[in-house]
Amino acid sequence: SAVCRVITCFFLLSPSLYYLTLFTFILALVHFLSEVFIYHTAALTIGVMAPLMVASFSILGMLIGLQYLEVEALSQNKKKN
């Protein structure tokens, strides 16, 4: 779709932004997991589970998307040559 092409072009122009976003979701996941399981400062309620789920699904989606972006970047490089 057109939206996917715009997003793909945006991240192809700035792959470091893609990695920074992925790292941010990983950092959020580690933070909330440590609050619940290491420091015991948060209970495993819906208020904590929601960010855990968002971070987890976002990481999964970004890792899947990363494979697509790498393939797309390779095909763009071949077109230039």
Q: How many domains does the chain have?
A: 1
Tokens of 29: 């996941």
Calpha distance 38→29 (Å, rounded) = 13
Calpha distance 66→23 (Å, rounded) = 13
Identify which of 5, 27, 31, 7 has the alpha carbon closest to the alpha carbon of residue 17. Answer: 7
Residue 66 lies in domain: 2-79
**Which value, in Å, is the radius of gyration of the alpha carbons in the chain?**
17
The label of the residue with tokens 């071949």 reads 78
Tokens of 59: 């990481």
pLDDT tens figures, 63-76:
988 887 777 667 76
pLDDT tens figures, 15-74:
788 889 999 999 999 999 999 999 999 999 999 999 999 999 999 999 988 887 777 667
